[in-house]
Amino acid sequence: MALIVQKYGGSSVADTDRIKNVARRIKEYRDQGDQVVVVVSAMKGVTDNLIGLAYDIMPIPTEREMDMLLATGEQTTIALTAMALHAMDIEAVSFTGAQAGIKTDAVHTKAKIQDISPAQIHEALDAGNVVIVAGFQGQTPEGNITTLGRGGSDLSAIALAAAIKADLCQIYTDVDGVYTTDPRVVPDARKLTEIAYDEMLELASLGAKVMQSRSVEFAKKFGVVFEVRSSLNDNPGTIIKEETTDMEGVVVRGASLDKNQAKVTLVAVPDHPGMAARIFKELADAAVNIDMIVQNTSHADEASTDVSFTVEKADLKKAQQLFEGLQSDIGFNEVATDENVAKLSIVGVGMRSHSGIASKMFETLASENVNIGMISTSEIKISVVINLDDSERALKAVHAAFLEDRAFD
């Protein structure tokens, strides 16, 4: 007998047929004698619809009421899921986040879980129930309903698994697991049997949106091992866990492509102390997140240098206007921008103990005649900025070089 937390996302509970399908899956575990706590999201599209309604009423919806509104999405699903189990003669009880003992701070619409008191969950389990918990919501010490930020049901599930010391935590979604790269771009992409928290976090922040990053961070902090798998088939999913030494045998775990980048170059910035500090303080004050930075060699004759950095496409206009306004003040020649770029990255904890990975990546790109605009590396990641038009071809080549035909994951 195991204590299992299962989380079903919006696509897994998209309509009543899907909810019945979820109930059948829960039954399989119940029939084996397992205790099951189920966390559900709102039915697909429901949260977006509710947000739309709020904005129809007022331009900046009041946040306490927004949470009151959004929490109804998950509340619908818990009741229907419990009913679907009752219809199969399985004892089940639904709980709101508050009833499940999920306590949060009072930062409405993006609250943080502070504590979970699962006494009521344990009582209901011990009485023989499947317990169905509304994801994405909690309650402040004052008793107000809060929500945890978009995609927050993942966090509810991981946090509950930690709080009740579950033997297993399964995150059900509409994909089979975590892939070596986006299968829509690279048909040869393979599903991974396992991936380390840090790799998953890097891939998520690089634009592979399998799961909310905060949930993975939480899982890492509390050592919650979890599996991402599909609710629509019985294929084994991907296990996400702490890295182990044998995982270093795989040098590159995954590759990702982020097309949501743009490049800004300040041409001929005076080459003297304090300039970089000034430039990046201006960006920080304007709340523009920057990713990669490159300072080119000085223009020999003029004692000036080009400074390039990447921002999200959505922030490009803001960054451009900001620096056009500062041109004479800082004293550079021109603001050049390039939206036609993408960031290609490879990730793997094995990079810590292997050398030659960067050169192999650069050689692969060279043989494809892909020009590299910027490079950045960390212990477990290498990223390059390349031309957008080359980017899918480059991803395929890099995937073929590092990620195909491996004996094991």
**Residues lying near ligand ASP in the complex (CB under 6 A):** 9-10, 41-42, 47, 73, 135-136, 150-154
Token pair recorded at residue 280? 């990046």
Residue closest to Mg ion (Cβ): 9
Shortest gap between Cβ of 9 and Mg ion (angstroms)?
A: 4
What's the min distance (Å) between Cβ of 42 and Mg ion? 8
Residue 232 vs 267, nearer CB to ligand ASP: 232
Q: Is the CB of 152 or the CB of 373 nearer to ligand ASP?
A: 152
Query: CA nearest 180: which of 385, 370, 400?
Result: 400
In the complex with Mg ion, which residue's Cβ is closer, 9 or 61?
9
Partner from ligand ASP, Mg ion, none contacting 170, C-beta within 5 to 8 A by type: none
Closer to ligand ASP by Cβ: residue 71 or 250? 71
Minimum distance from residue 87 beta carbon to ligand ASP (Å): 24
Separation of alpha carbons 300 and 282, rounded Å: 27
136 binds, among Mg ion, ligand ASP, none (CB under 5 to 8 A by kind): ligand ASP
Residues binding Mg ion (CB under 5 A): 9-10, 41
Q: CA-to-CA distance for 290 and 261, rounded, in angstroms?
A: 10
Q: Which is nearer to Mg ion, 171 or 403 (CB)?
A: 171
- Least distance from C-beta 74 to ligand ASP, angstroms? 6
> Which of 38/196 has CB closer to Mg ion?
38
Residue 67 binds: one of Mg ion, ligand ASP, none (C-beta under 5 to 8 A by kind): none
Helix or strand (DSSP H, E) at 146: strand 145-147
Q: Write down the least CB distance from residue 215 to ligand ASP, Å.
A: 9
Question: Smallest distance, Å, CB 24 to ligand ASP?
Answer: 21
Query: Residue 137 touches which of ligand ASP, Mg ion, none (CB < 5 to 8 A by kind)?
Result: none
- What is the spatial distance between Cα 26 and Cα 22, in angstroms, rounded to a whole number? 6
Nearer to ligand ASP, 151 or 373 (CB): 151
The listed partner (ligand ASP, Mg ion, none) that binds 104, CB under 5 to 8 Å by sort, is none
Cβ contacts of 393 within 8 Å, gap of 6 or more: 368, 370
Q: What's the min distance (Å) between Cβ of 157 and ligand ASP? A: 9
- Token pair for residue 84? 């679907």
Torsion of CA 85, 87, 93, 98, to 10 degrees: 80
- Is the CB of 65 or the CB of 271 nearer to ligand ASP? 65
**CB nearer ligand ASP, residue 79 or residue 284:** 79
Q: Are the beta carbons of 197 and 241 closer than 8 angstroms?
A: yes
- 42 touches which of ligand ASP, Mg ion, none (CB within 5 to 8 A by kind)? ligand ASP
Q: How far is the CB of 87 from Mg ion (least distance, A)?
A: 25
Residue-level length of the chain:
409
CB of 151 to Mg ion, least distance (A): 5
44 binds, among Mg ion, ligand ASP, none (CB under 5 to 8 A by kind): none
